Structure 1
Amino acid sequence: MNDEVRTERQVYLSGQMVPESEAKISIFDSAIMLGDCLTESTRTFRHKPFRLEDHITRLYRSLKVCRVNPGLTPDEMTRVTLQVLEANRSLMGEDDDCWIVHNISRGLMKPGPTAAQMSPATVMIFTSPMDLRGWARYYTEGCHAVTSFSRAIPAQSLDARIKNRSRLFYTLADSEARMVDPDAQVVILDIDGNVSENKGGNIFAVIDGELRTPSTENCLAGISRQTVIELAHELRIGVRETRLQMYDLSTADEVFFTSTPYCIMPATRFNGLPVADEKVGPVTKRLLKAWSDQVGVDIVGQAQRQIGLA
């Protein structure tokens, strides 16, 4: 193996470990033909995967509901995932972390009337550097949360708990919010006007000292979302899963998003209005500190170091 290959990230592709530059799939794969692909994104802290078991569990629930057989048991999937991480660990700096991404499609498309899986699944697992520069300033400034015109796909059509790679809807909603503010983070509403989710995360509001978030009837059952709920219980902060509307975010004491890469992103404006005093609130700060303490990484500091602020 030459030096070029040794310094290139490795990817698991349907039973083989290959260099990233050689990881290719067919144009006839169902991921390409139909966007028919289930996914998970895990991150590391100090090079160790965070809640990988929970991500694998959610992945296999999505696979079951979508009738996709990955050809690996959950334990085998976990073992291969850790092998991919280990193969790429030497390419991370001491203060660096990475994404661990799973994409699993139904495999090659076969002509005919059936939607059943007719070929082996395409299993893709790769790592990617955790680039936090785009989010770093929001920890102290807060972001601008803006609602999109498009509404969330109703659960009767596609249950939001199925994490999939069909991202066109989310991309359109995100672009609509950025028409209002190029730096906006989107808030997607459901067809009844209730708050649903963000392009890649969940939404929380602090109202009268209580943490409130939409129930999973209309949003992804996020692992980061669950982490915040658990941390809030440990901090004795009340939590309620409920329906939220734009009025609630407009009048909340604090608003924030949760997602795998940045963990917690404060929002200090909503649709052009200040959230409370337009500063990152105390509950958000307590939760960020508790998360940092749990994983042994200064979450805010890690992001700020990437842009030279810490």
Structure 2
Amino acid sequence: MAIYPIVLAQKTFTHQDNLKYPFEERGLQFGDGIYEVIRIYDGSYYLLKEHVDRLFRSADAVKINLAATKEEITDLLLQLLEKNKMTGDGKVYLQVSRGSAPRDHVFPQGIPANMYAYAQDLPRNLENLQKGVSVITQPDVRWENCYIKSLNLLPNVLAKQEAKEHGCYEAILHRDDLVTECSSSNIYMVKDGDIYTHPATNRILHGCVRMRVEQFANDLSISFNENGFKQEDLFTADEVFLSSSTSEVMPVTMIDNKQVQDGTPGPITRKLQAAYENDANITEGKITHTI
């Protein structure tokens, strides 16, 4: 996927070939930074406010001064799409590091944060959304502050790679037998008509789509329980699905080579997919019109 040529760097726009940061950059050397991935449909952001709000929560948690207001960053992100004349489906990656300074574990003083963002095309994965995906389970060996969307993603990367090597879409993570989330998405199971997921603690990322899934469930009078579930519960669940900005509401039909019920997406997952498509104003290629 090619990056659109105009990139947001600090508070200005430049061609991607001109984006340069010094060798001693804290995001590169320490993973000392935060990020967001924001979905775009038909040239418009989906859940932009929620992503910007979370960016500021992450910045506050790691003591990074963004030197910009929510309104300023929102306006810059809107300009990014306009300058690239983006009209289709895609995503924007936004990253902020603590800045560029001689390497030292202690925070540098008086150094501005480095911020950049770029846009890419990203078509909806209609086949997976229609049929569901296979996943594996992996121990959750990440740090205790997963609610911060930080650049420290090596355990997530290793789990995702393990899934890839098993021919799977995702890795479901578990800690002390309690399912937390996936390597890059939130995870849910359905049992007897109710949805279960891990509570929004420091051990999971509080997904923007996750918050919408809870809202959809409430609107549909489906019980949404945040008291968690165990790894073994996955294999007796009626339905399993995951969510993220790039995966939307994705059915899970196979876990560790074991089929989830009859191996097809369940009715509650389908209702949530329909609610997502309506909320995101998706009109063309709606999967809920093709089942």
TM over 0.5: yes
Where does residue 100 of structure 1 map in the other structure? 92
* Aligned 8 A contact 2:130 2:287 in 1: no
| 2:117 partner SS | strand
Q: In the aligned structure 1, how far is the partner of 2:56 from the partner of 2:164?
A: 34
Distance 1:303 1:124, change over 3 A: farther
Q: In the aligned structure 1, how far is the partner of 2:105 from the partner of 2:167?
A: 44
TM-score norm. by structure 2 comes to 0.92
Greater CA drift, 233-242 or 40-49? 40-49
Query: Cα offset for 1:22?
Result: 2.2
Q: In the aligned structure 2, how far is the partner of 1:196 from the partner of 1:272?
A: 20
Is residue 2:163 matched to residue 1:171?
A: no
Distance 1:303 1:233, change over 3 A: closer
Where does residue 138 of structure 1 map in the other structure? 128
Query: Cα offset for 1:252?
Result: 0.5
Q: What does the per-residue CA deviation read over 1:178-220, in whole Å, with 9 as the maximum and x for residues that have no partner?
A: 34x2234111112x12111112110011111101111122211
Q: In the aligned structure 2, how far is the partner of 1:253 from the partner of 1:113?
A: 48
- Structure 1 residues without counterparts, runs of 5 or longer: 1-6
Greater CA drift, 105-114 or 160-169? 105-114
2:121 aligned partner, one-letter code: P
TM-score norm. by structure 1 comes to 0.86
Where does residue 87 of structure 1 map in the other structure? 83
Distance 1:11 1:303, change over 3 A: farther
Q: How does 1:17-32 map to 2 (within 5 A)?
A: 17-32=13-28
Q: How does 1:209-224 map to 2 (within 5 A)?
A: 209-217=193-201, 218-224=203-209
* Aligned 8 A contact 2:24 2:103 in 1: no
2:225 aligned partner, one-letter code: R
Is residue 2:10 matched to residue 1:9?
A: no
* Aligned 8 A contact 1:256 1:265 in 2: yes
Distance 1:254 1:112, change over 3 A: closer
- Structure 2 residues without counterparts, runs of 5 or longer: none
* Aligned 8 A contact 2:97 2:115 in 1: yes
The alignment-based identity, stated in percent, is 26
Distance 1:141 1:80, change over 3 A: same
The one of 242, 250, 253 equivalent to 2:238 is 253
The one of 267, 273, 285 equivalent to 2:270 is 285
Greater CA drift, 249-258 or 169-178? 169-178
Q: What does the per-residue CA deviation read over 1:53-106, in whole Å, with 9 as the maximum and x for residues that have no partner?
A: 111111001101101112111111111111112112x243xxx21212210000
* Aligned 8 A contact 2:34 2:149 in 1: yes
Distance 1:21 1:113, change over 3 A: closer
Query: Cα offset for 1:127?
Result: 1.2
RMSD: 2.2
Distance 1:111 1:268, change over 3 A: closer
1:169 aligned partner, one-letter code: P
Is residue 2:32 matched to residue 1:36?
A: yes
Greater CA drift, 159-168 or 219-228? 159-168
Query: Cα offset for 1:236?
Result: 0.8
Where does residue 72 of structure 1 map in the other structure? 68
Q: In the aligned structure 2, how far is the partner of 1:297 from the partner of 1:235?
A: 19
Where does residue 196 of structure 1 map in the other structure? 180
Distance 1:298 1:264, change over 3 A: farther
Q: What does the per-residue CA deviation read over 1:194-250, in whole Å, with 9 as the maximum and x for residues that have no partner?
A: 111112110011111101111122211000111111011111111101221111111
Q: What does the per-residue CA deviation read over 1:232-274, in whole Å, with 9 as the maximum and x for residues that have no partner?
A: 1111111101221111111100001101013111001111111
* Aligned 8 A contact 1:9 1:91 in 2: no
Is residue 2:234 matched to residue 1:238?
A: no
